[in-house]
Structure 1
């Protein structure tokens, strides 16, 4: 049996802590936590109090030195600096999206990194997405005709992200298009093909704040995609629908984790084994970590590739620049 893969974490915010807890929940024969670092003394103190068994490193270099694979969960502007240092040390990299805030820098990084990196788009390991793929493979919808993406939020950032509003609600690094829409663009790319042919509009009604509304049309391979997103148009913290319609029917993903199939009478029937987001998250995280172990060993994996993430970032940034 291969040795467990040692994963070091840079960033102890929401995503960093979530991934750390997921690592600790796995079999130690698969992965182990090498240690964590964050520039915030408060964040490190929180980890010390809640997860004292995890090594708290003095700096990013110490995390990299102790790891087989480095998970980068810091704010986007710092992603590629940490990722490049890890690659230079001979380690693999699992990065939060987006790769960077500069598309040209991301393109250069993808060329540099080769196959030693991947990006954390959990739909790559989602049980609900697997159900959608099974329905497509079974010919449930016939030939694909269009994809429709709808996202809406009561406020931005979402209530549970308030502590990160300093960058999540700023135009340089934040906004729901980068943070949320990117996931559904990744799903469209993986099921449809390369994203291209974008026409879009965006609204920034508040100075130096992130977007409040977007509309876009593009193609995923040869499938037309319609995208809308807005803030303040729902009472839900987070509402989203991704729908694939074909010549013989339609399937959709609702609120991150609920796979549904349209019935002849127009109603929607949920997959019998559908999981809520809270139930599905640990399953997807486990599968993601299995993929990280394969990435670190140089084996084929299902994780989002750097090329897929770059394509998504190119579309996201073009929407925001429109």
Structure 2
């Protein structure tokens, strides 16, 4: 089959990561990239010297079969609507939008039209998540889930170029950017999410949240959630811990699948690798699924409906 034309709008760290997997992928060819930033143009030239920045977003949409939208959140839905109207498949970064009402309307529109669209939650393709799922039967009836996401600073060091919006309350914050991944995992593994209570701390001005606490359910299972900025020395620490009647399993620091032994110690899966090594493996699997979605075939990517349910919870926490 002919290679699928991939367009990318937004060439920050996420756009660049996807590009590095797309270039050698046998089912894709890069048809265009657009980002207004001069720094993005320099990164593109370094990543693929044969590629030049497109003149505008419209030209990228015109030339692609599938559009990856990695621009800041306010641009997601205008670009997605334009691409879907042109008959393109769409792969969105989260959150879907900065306006939850608009996100609700967009998902309804896309579903009614049978649109080929998905959201980039990499845990849909993570080998570590697959290991966690394989272990679930061994811990007996599930009792509770605990999610923790903590940061030495926000944004993280590697996100400095996007700090202008990531550090702001309107579009950024760690709850939208990071907690959403673990809520997606809870939704997919356990069932529908329902927020029960939440508290959030903001700095003065328009800065993003510095602390959250919440209780919710996932498929009826009790879930506790906590997150903070500035309380740890490390850049980042996170965990997703599922307790059962006969033990517990967890995903730690994105890529480490672990199981608690009878003596209370955590044992890491033998094939576990740190996230910097796991990330390209997971993203390659995402690209395989993206090719299937673009061709109208079954795939396991996060659906628009799943992303919308996660966003509802995230925005409710942030409004608490």
Q: TM-score range by the shorter chain?
A: over 0.9
Structure 1 unaligned spans of 5+: none
Residue of structure 2 in register with 1:22 after alignment: 21
Partner Cα separation in structure 1 for residue 47 and residue 161 of structure 2: 18
SS at match of 2:262: coil
SS at match of 1:241: strand
Contact between 1:198 and 1:315, CA under 8 Å: does it hold in 2?
Answer: no
**1:225 Cα offset (Å):** 0.7
**1:229 Cα offset (Å):** 0.2
1:17-60: CA deviations, max 9, x gaps? 11111111322xx1121110001133113312442122421111
1:275 maps to 2:278: no
Residue of structure 2 in register with 1:132 after alignment: 132
Partner Cα separation in structure 2 for residue 25 and residue 281 of structure 1: 16
RMSD after superposition: 1.0
Partner Cα separation in structure 1 for residue 226 and residue 195 of structure 2: 16
SS at match of 1:56: coil
Contact between 1:200 and 1:319, CA under 8 Å: does it hold in 2?
Answer: yes
1:177-198: CA deviations, max 9, x gaps? 0010000000000001111133
Q: Which moved more, 1:226-235 or 1:18-27?
A: 18-27
Which residues of 2 match residues 99-248 of structure 1 at below 5 A? 99-114=96-111, 115-136=115-136, 139-248=137-246
SS at match of 2:231: coil
Partner Cα separation in structure 1 for residue 195 and residue 150 of structure 2: 24
Residue of structure 1 in register with 2:61 after alignment: 64
Residue of structure 2 in register with 1:5 after alignment: 4
Partner Cα separation in structure 1 for residue 20 and residue 84 of structure 2: 24
1:219-252: CA deviations, max 9, x gaps? 1111111000000111111110101111111000
Partner Cα separation in structure 1 for residue 138 and residue 11 of structure 2: 42
Contact between 1:245 and 1:251, CA under 8 Å: does it hold in 2?
Answer: yes
Q: Which moved more, 1:91-100 or 1:37-46?
A: 37-46
- Give aligned pairs, total: 317
Contact between 1:182 and 1:312, CA under 8 Å: does it hold in 2?
Answer: yes
1:135-169: CA deviations, max 9, x gaps? 12xx1111111110011100011111112111000
SS at match of 1:304: coil
Partner Cα separation in structure 2 for residue 170 and residue 196 of structure 1: 26
SS at match of 1:157: coil
**1:116 Cα offset (Å):** 1.4
Contact between 1:144 and 1:245, CA under 8 Å: does it hold in 2?
Answer: yes
Which residues of 2 match residues 307-318 of structure 1 at below 5 A? 307-318=305-316
**1:112 Cα offset (Å):** 1.3
SS at match of 1:152: strand
Query: How high is the TM-score relative to the length of structure 2?
Result: 0.97
Contact between 2:128 and 2:272, CA under 8 Å: does it hold in 1?
Answer: yes
Partner Cα separation in structure 2 for residue 54 and residue 296 of structure 1: 23
Residue of structure 2 in register with 1:78 after alignment: 75
SS at match of 2:279: helix
Which residue, 27, 44, 47 being the options, matches 1:47? 44
Partner Cα separation in structure 2 for residue 49 and residue 123 of structure 1: 29
Contact between 1:171 and 1:211, CA under 8 Å: does it hold in 2?
Answer: yes
